[in-house]
Amino acid sequence: MDNREENRHKPHCLVLPFPIQGHINPMLQFSKRLSHKGIRITLAATKHLFKTTQQFSGSISVETISDGFDEGKADVDLDPYLARFEQVGTETLSELLDKLRDSGRPVDCVIYDPFLPWAVVVAKKHGLVGAAFFTQSSSVNSIYYNVYKGQLKVPLLDKEIAVAGLPLLEISDVPSFVRDQDSHPGSFELVLNQFRNVEEADFVFVNSFYELEEEVTDLMAKILPVKTIGPTTPSMYLDKRLTEDKDYDLSIFKPVNSCMKWLEERTNKSVIYVSFGSMAKLEGEQMEELALGLKMTNKYFLWVVRSSEESKLPKSFVQETQEKGLIVSWCPQLEVLAHDAIGCFITHCGWNSTLEALSLGVPMVAVPWWSDQSTNAKLVMDVWKMGIRARPDVKDIVGREEIVRCIKHVMEGEEGNEVRKNAKKWRELARKAVDEGGSSDRNIQEFLSTLESIAPK
Ligand code: UDX
């Protein structure tokens, strides 16, 4: 690199995630890709997040803003939390942008989570490029957009719901906040409000890849400057172009790494991996049915049960299944999914977990809990055909027999072969999308060219 090259102003992006794990991880990963391509990145973390996370990536500088709850928000409801975040966040984000400018590190672009739709207004007031980063799928975004625009009327009255670019949906396939707005009115508003001010954004990034959701992405791209840039699964599990990128570098929970040794002792594709992500709180009865289903299969299983969920396990289940099962409070999920011993993934279909399973070619048994997960489950089963959605009973519980049936479906026989074949196909397509010249790589490149053309030389 000659001196001129070194002294050139690198475009600088300030990245503002919503402070929960499932939203921070994809934005950090995207940041790493940008940083690898020569963009300077500063992460704007809330003061509380900064204080409480286990670790932050070395390659990205971190500055703080405030959500108004620097000591933690305890049990503050979503509505007042968001209102205060908007008020204090607007002010402190603005101050941070001024501070960075005054200290010779001016920002060119704010990449914000649309859960914080006021951020683009701040960016525009500062004369900057604004880019929304949607952490969920194009399909789910499109459903929310249709509701936001009043094109899909709620409450949903029809048995089948038609959304352009998507297969016909049953009510149970629709995101839970739309299916039942009264269950979480704050969250319903939050997901629709992602489109507030979005017309001010110069870019709308989606953590997905074009080949995965072609039709709906094309339709959304006619309305908004949508660019798929994912999956944001660490590069070493996909294209391997970022040799340091093996992990998310940020973990709210502490992983129990000893489960990797346990997996080493298991044969190829023999283990069921079970995890419901960072937030799900299962009914006691659901935990029990799942536990008994796992026991009935007589297969090996690795189950992530967060400490807060542990008391729901049936009494003496751990002792009774210790020959076959390992229960941990958190695990290095990517390493686990990439391990040859894993034969299937019982998942809540959080979007990150779904993308990780797609990226690593692991067949899924979908047991969605809330939010976008039911739509993801529908696509996994009926569109991508790399798993099965477990059918709940009238009480909305997936029973033990159903668990056993689904595990057999993805791990055994002709159907299992088919699912595995498709899983392999998606793995390859995901890799290609982020690799040089792939659909996501080209979109990132286009963004870079725009930033380079506006950044002062
Ligand atoms: C939330 C929502 O629930 C989800 O529907 C939405 O799409 C994103 O935000 P969460 O429930 O935590 O996220 O699920 P998910 O999106 O799957 O994210 C979980 C993350 O935690 C994944 O990246 C996964 O690899 C990681 N994880 C999970 C671990 O590292 N270890 C574990 O033991 C379990």
The pLDDT tens digits of the residues spanning 93-104 come to 999 999 999 999
In angstroms, what is the span from residue 350 Cα to ligand 1's centroid?
6
Does residue 9 belong to any structural domain of this protein?
A: yes
Q: What is the pTM of this model?
A: 0.96
Burial class (CB in 10 A: 0-12, 13-18, 19+), 308: exposed
Which has the closest alpha carbon to 448: 127, 97, 30, 57?
A: 30
175 lines ligand 1 (CB under 6 A): no
Residues 38 and 186 in one domain: yes
Angstrom distances, CA of residue 165 to CA of 139, 141, 168, 382: 8, 12, 9, 14
Residue whose tokens read 């009774």:
320
Whether the Cβ atoms of residue 120 and residue 112 lie closer than 8 Å to each other: yes
Name the residue range of residue 93's domain: 3-244+436-454
Q: Within a domain: residue 167?
A: yes
**Cα 387 vs. chain centroid, distance in angstroms?**
18
How much distance in Å is there from the Cα of 335 to the middle of ligand 1? 14
Answer whether residue 407 is part of any domain: yes
Does ligand 1 have an atom closer than 6 angstroms to the CB of 140?
no
The answer on 399 and 277 residing in a single domain is yes
User: In terms of domains, do 370 and 318 share one?
Assistant: yes
Q: Is 172 in the same domain as 293? A: no
Closest residue by Cα to atom 21, ligand 1, is 277
Within the chain, which residues score under 50 in pLDDT?
1-7
Mean pLDDT score of the chain, rounded to an integer? 95
Q: Which atom of ligand 1 is nearest to the CA of 353?
A: 17
Provide the domain count of the chain.
2
pLDDT at 456: 64
In a shared domain, residues 215 and 308: no
422 shares its domain with 441: no
349: left (phi over 0), alpha (psi -120 to 50) or beta: left
Residues 420 and 442 in one domain: no
* Cα(107)–Cα(105) distance, integer angstroms: 6
Residue 19 within any structural domain of the chain: yes
Order of strands, sheet of 342-347, starting from the edge strand that comes earlier in the sequence: 325-328, 300-304, 271-275, 342-347, 364-366, 387-389
52 and 145 belong to one structural domain: yes
- Tell me which amino acid residue 376 is: N
Which residue has its alpha carbon closest to ligand 1 atom 34?
A: 277
Separation of first and last alpha carbons in the chain: 16
278 C-beta closer than 6 A to ligand 1: yes
**Residue 250 belongs to a domain:** no
Instruction: Give the distance from CA 400 to its chain's centroid.
Output: 28
> Is residue 68 classed as helix, strand or coil in its secondary structure?
coil
Residues 262 and 120 in one domain: no
Token digits of residue 205: 């990034």
Nearest to 307 by CA among 354, 252, 346: 252
Q: Does some domain include residue 392?
A: yes
Ligand 1: centre distance to CA 173 (Å): 19
Regarding the beta carbon of 304 and ligand 1, being less than 6 Å apart is answered: yes
User: The tokens of 215 are what?
Assistant: 């039709």
How far is ligand 1, taken at its centre, from the CA of residue 283, in Å? 19
**Domain identity same for 226 and 267:** no
Separation of alpha carbons 314 and 187, rounded Å: 31
The answer, yes or no, to whether any atom of ligand 1 lies below 6 A from the CB of 136, is yes
Alpha helices (H) along 126-264: 138-148, 176-179, 185-192, 214-223, 259-264
Instruction: Output phi, psi for 205, to 5 deg.
Output: -85, 145
Residues with catalytic annotation?
23, 113
User: Can you give the pLDDT at residue 117?
Assistant: 98
42 and 88 in a common domain: yes
DSSP 37-60: TT-EEEEEEEHHHHHH-S---TTS
Backbone angles phi, psi at 111, to 5 degrees: -100, 115
Assigned domain for 249 exists: no
Q: Is the CB of 22 under 6 A from ligand 1?
A: yes
Cross-strand bridge partners of residue 42: 14, 61
Report the residue count for the chain.
457
Nearest one of 307, 233, 206, 300 to 262, comparing CA atoms:
300
| Cα–Cα distance for residue pair 221/17, rounded to 1 Å | 23
Identify whether residues 184 and 57 lie together within a single domain.
yes
pLDDT tens track for 381-430:
999 999 999 999 999 999 999 999 999 999 999 999 999 999 999 999 99
**What 8-state DSSP symbol labels residue 454?**
H
Verify whether ligand 1 is closer than 6 Å to residue 277 (CB atom): yes
Give residue 145's pLDDT. Answer: 98
Number of the ligand 1 atom closest to the C-alpha atom of 251: 30
Q: What is the CATH number of the domain that holds 384?
A: 3.40.50.2000
**DSSP secondary structure, 239-282, as one string:** T--STT-SS-S--SS---TTHHHHHHTSPTT-EEEEE-TTT---
Which residues neighbour 281 within 8 Å (Cβ) at sequence distance 6 or greater?
308, 309
Would you say residue 251 lies in a domain? no
